């Protein structure tokens, strides 16, 4: 998505152009000095810088992956702040150094020519390496903020390719670019983007327990801002501004932007070219000439002014294999990065065995050390038990083992930080037993899951039942209309009304488990039936769909359509009396789109209408409605989750909207490979980000 790719595109273009200009100046200077034989040394240094940047990115990625969730938040937030500092320094350095960049590089090359090959390699390596490290760090942080890597990496790749093309054009003297104005404009945009990265980093540090005031919100617009609108997607993707932000985020964002942008604009004015009095000789277009000089490639003839020494014949050194140095400069950073990744992975601590029974819970439990710990839970009693690691003051849960049978042992893995811990054992019958509490010092803080009760879910359940009840009332009228269309022989109108009714039903996904046998009768598939679509038990929406799009007559479809309307009316009457388990709501937040990915996005349920993506759109609407009723509970338990999920929903919605053409939809089978992969990827990412919801809102036994 472009909203995620743009910041990385800009950093790739700018950093790539900076590094490319430096390389162009190095190459042009050596060529003018008659030292073409030294060019491989320049490219070796460049290759080493690229290898270092890639290795640095690998270390960031795999080191973060081995951390606990809280540590990942703190790690990512810290690197986001560091990335902002680097980008800010880079913006100011390039604005200040552009006019004299060419001369500085010439001086370094002049000195290097009189020394060994290693000096020239080091010169190019240091010149390009800084840009490479900055790019790797900024890409990692923007990928973390976006929640996915495809967009940022694509944007950066496009930026780097464009930067390489521009540098080639400058070197070949087929382009003239006012680089001073270019770096000024992109610098201003990068400052705005960096402010968003800083705000995101501060939020991560709050989630990781490094900074306070995690729940002190400056504003919460999640209930009034449409996360699926194009402007919401653009603002969240490019600027990292979310509908819900803490006071610290807002202060950090606004303070950085006000201070840094003011200094940048003031610096631009101070370094602007001054008007020269009449009669004083000067070059035409001073600013453009200075900018072009920084590129060097557009005025390569000026290299002779540097007084470069003529290449001196030297005694031929002992030749080494040409491949040896390039292989070494790639292999060494990779080996170092691999070692850092291995050494950076936390070593598993020895597992502590904790006894569980209905008489005594937590025997053998002592204050653990901070960090990721594994506890071996051994049931010494005669009853199956649920076991929770809790904060006894708040009942918040840090870890759990469900259904621990007598005489069995299972591992419980939890991240321990500063706080109070106790074990709570809830046997299948009898009262709960809680162990003596222990206190752990140090190790920061760890956010636990605040237990949810049936009472907590009763409000959301009432809201969702009301939503389903209204949807079923609408569906009754729509299926009656569909049946009347078919009975009257208006098959063209029936196709339109079929889709309208089917989408209404598809938006009620969280209630399917409650509908009991009605769901099979209303929306059953032909899969598994002996005669497939021609089986006598094939009924409901898909039976009518098959007939409408396979040339069946109105007479043959009248009975199936009327049966569909009858079943919908039966469901409408039965639903108020059906048992809707409150624990189903959190589960359905994930399962609706699981079915979408399995059946709709594969085209498995297409019986001729080609409207699977329309059904996927209705499923997404049903998921959004479910998240709306669960939002109050999720906001207090995982405030950072909802902005991420909202962005995922908006991304998927945009892709689905692109497949809609008025009243028709692109069939799944006709999607291009790239678009289909994007839709599947966006759905998968949303599923992954929704996966914590069932655990966050699970009803846990307390007695």
Note whether 217 and 249 are within 8 A (CB): no
494: CB partners within 8 A, 6+ apart: 482, 485, 486, 548, 557, 561
Cα gap 444→613, rounded to integer Å: 46
For 225-253, b/e burial (b = at least 16 CB within 10 A) is: bebbeeebbebbbbbbbbbbbbebbbebb
* Tokens 């995922």 sit on residue: 648
Report the number of secondary-structure helices (H) and strands (E) in the chain: 21, 13
Are 486 and 557 in contact by the 8 Å Cβ rule? The answer is: yes
Q: Kindly report the CA angle at 586 between 581 and 589, in degrees rounded to 5?
A: 120
Residue 295: per-residue pLDDT:
41
Q: What is the pLDDT of residues 460-509, one digit of tens each?
A: 999 999 999 999 999 999 999 999 999 999 999 999 999 999 999 999 87
Give the per-residue SS3 of 128-152. Answer: HHHHHHHHHHHHHHHHHHHCCCHHH
For residue 300, pLDDT over 50 is answered with: no
Phi, psi of 153 (to 5 degrees): -65, -40
Which is more confident, 388 or 349?
Answer: 388
Beta 371-379 vs 385-391: how paired, if at all?
unpaired
Q: Is the pLDDT of residue 618 over 80?
A: yes
Sign of CA dihedral 225, 228, 231, 232: positive
Lowest mean pLDDT among 124-133, 161-170, 480-489: 124-133
Judged by average pLDDT, the poorest of 88-92, 112-116, 345-349 is 345-349
Q: Answer yes or no: are the C-beta atoms of 397 and 426 closer than 8 Å.
A: no
Q: What is the pTM of this model?
A: 0.51
Answer whether residue 21 shows pLDDT above 90.
Answer: no
Contacts of 71 (CB under 8 A, 6+ apart): 208, 415
Written as six digits, the tokens of 179 are 């680089």
Is residue 458 packed enough to be buried (19+ CB in 10 Å), middle (13-18) or exposed (0-12)? exposed
Alpha carbon distance 28, 301 (integer Å): 9
pLDDT in tens, 562-615: 999 999 999 999 989 888 888 888 888 888 888 898 889 999 999 999 999 999
pLDDT at residue number 310: 42
pLDDT at 324 over 70: no
* Residue 357 reports pLDDT greater than 60: yes
Q: What angle do CA 320, 326, 328 make, to 5 degrees?
A: 85
From residue 137, give the alpha-carbon distance in Å to each of 9, 52, 76.
14, 12, 10
Most confident of 334-338, 416-420, 482-486: 482-486
User: What does the block give as tokens for 184?
Assistant: 């000024």
pLDDT of 150 above 70: yes
Q: Output the CA–CA distances (angstroms, integers) from residue 533 to 76, 525, 551, 559, 563, in the order listed.
A: 53, 8, 14, 16, 16
Measured between alpha carbons, how far is 247 from 215 in angstroms, rounded to an integer? 9
Per-residue pLDDT band for 3 (boundaries 50, 70, 90) equals low
Weakest-pLDDT range from 220-229, 252-261, 542-551, 634-643 = 220-229
Q: Does pLDDT of 517 surpass 50?
A: yes
Q: Are 113 and 39 in contact (CB under 8 A)?
A: no
Residue 508 in tokens: 């009620």
Question: Which two tokens mark 480?
Answer: 């009656």
CB 17 within 8 Å of CB 295: no
Separation of alpha carbons 323 and 326, rounded Å: 6
Does residue 638 register a pLDDT over 60?
Answer: yes
What pLDDT, on a 0 to 100 scale, did the predictor assign at position 296?
40
Alpha carbons within 13 A on the beta-carbon side of 220: 11
Residues written for the chain: 703
Give the range among 194-203, 320-329, 454-463, 534-543 with minimum mean pLDDT.
320-329
Check pLDDT > 80 for residue 291: no
Mean pLDDT to the nearest integer, 543-563 = 95
- How many CA within 13 A on the CB side of residue 674? 2
d(CA 539, CA 531): 13
Mean pLDDT of the chain: 78
Give the mean pLDDT of 180-190.
79
CA gap 439, 393 in Å, rounded: 12
């Amino acid at each position: 998505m472009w909203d995620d790719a743009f910041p990385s595109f800009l950093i790739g273009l700018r950093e790539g152009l900076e590094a490319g200009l430096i390389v162009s100046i190095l190459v042009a200077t050596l060529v003018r000095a008659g030292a073409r034989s030294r060019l491989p040394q320049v490219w070796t240094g460049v290759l080493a810088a690229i290898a270092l940047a890639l290795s640095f990115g690998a270390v960031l990625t795999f080191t973060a992956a081995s951390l606990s969730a809280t540590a990942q938040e703190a790690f990512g937030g810290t690197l986001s702040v560091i990335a902002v500092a680097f980008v800010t320094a880079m913006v100011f350095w390039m604005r200040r150094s552009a006019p004299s960049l060419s001369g500085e590089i010439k001086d370094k090359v002049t000195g290097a020519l009189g020394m060994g090959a290693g000096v020239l390699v080091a010169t190019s390596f240091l010149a390009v390496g800084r840009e490479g490290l900055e790019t790797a760090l900024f890409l990692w942080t923007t990928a973390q903020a976006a929640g996915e890597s495809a967009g940022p990496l694509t944007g950066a790749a496009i930026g780097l390719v464009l930067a390489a093309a521009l540098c080639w054009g400058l070197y070949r003297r087929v382009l003239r670019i006012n680089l001073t104005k270019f770096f000024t404009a992109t610098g201003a945009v990068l400052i705005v983007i960096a402010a968003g990265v800083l705000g995101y980093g501060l939020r991560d540090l709050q989630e990781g327990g490094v900074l306070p005031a995690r729940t002190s919100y400056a504003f919460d617009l999640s209930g009034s801002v449409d996360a699926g609108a194009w402007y919401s997607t653009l603002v969240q993707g490019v600027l990292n501004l979310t509908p819900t932000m803490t006071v610290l985020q807002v202060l950090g964002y606004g303070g950085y932007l006000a201070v840094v942008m003011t200094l940048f604009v003031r610096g631009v004015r101070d370094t602007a070219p001054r008007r020269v009095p009449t009669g004083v000789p000067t070059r035409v277009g001073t600013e453009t000439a200075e900018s072009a000089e920084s590129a060097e490639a557009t005025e390569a003839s000026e290299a002779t002014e540097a007084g470069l020494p003529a290449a001196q014949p030297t005694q031929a050194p002992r030749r080494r294999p040409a491949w040896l140095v390039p292989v070494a400069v790639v292999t060494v950073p990779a080996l170092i990065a691999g070692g850092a990744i291995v050494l950076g992975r936390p070593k598993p601590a020895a597992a502590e065995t904790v006894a569980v029974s209905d008489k005594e819970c937590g025997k053998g439990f002592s204050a653990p050390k901070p960090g990721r710990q594994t506890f071996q839970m051994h049931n010494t009693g005669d009853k199956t038990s649920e076991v929770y690691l809790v904060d006894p003051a708040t009942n918040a849960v840090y870890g759990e083992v469900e259904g621990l049978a007598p005489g069995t042992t299972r591992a419980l893995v939890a991240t321990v930080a500063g706080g109070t811990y106790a074990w709570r054992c809830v046997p299948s019958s009898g009262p709960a037993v809680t162990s003596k509490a222990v206190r752990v010092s140090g190790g920061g803080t760890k956010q636990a899951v605040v237990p949810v009760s049936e009472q907590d879910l009763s409000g959301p359940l009432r809201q969702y039942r009301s939503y389903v009840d209204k949807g079923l009332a609408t569906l009754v009228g729509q299926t009656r209309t569909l049946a009347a269309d078919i009975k009257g022989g208006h098959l063209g109108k029936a196709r339109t009304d079929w889709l309208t009714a089917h989408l209404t039903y598809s938006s009620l996904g969280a209630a399917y488990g409650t509908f009991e046998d009605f769901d099979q009768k209303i929306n059953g598939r032909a899969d598994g039936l002996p005669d497939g679509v021609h089986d006598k038990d094939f009924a409901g929406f898909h039976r009518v769909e098959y007939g409408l799009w396979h040339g069946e007559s109105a007479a043959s479809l009248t009975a199936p359509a009327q049966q569909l309307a009858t079943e919908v009316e039966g469901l409408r009457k039965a639903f108020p009396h059906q048992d809707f388990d409150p624990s189903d709501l959190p589960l359905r937040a994930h399962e609706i789109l699981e079915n979408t990915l399995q059946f709709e996005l594969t085209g498995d349920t297409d019986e001729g209408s080609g409207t699977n993506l329309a059904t996927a759109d209705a499923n997404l609407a049903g998921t959004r409605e479910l998240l709306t009723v669960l939002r109050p509970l999720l906001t207090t338990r995982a405030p950072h989750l909802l902005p991420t999920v909202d962005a995922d929903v908006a991304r998927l919605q945009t892709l689905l909207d692109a497949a809609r053409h008025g009243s028709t939809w692109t069939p799944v089978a006709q999607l291009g490979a790239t678009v289909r992969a994007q839709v599947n990827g966006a759905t998968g990412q949303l599923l992954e980000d929704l996966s914590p919801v069932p655990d966050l809102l699970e009803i846990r036994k307390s007695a």
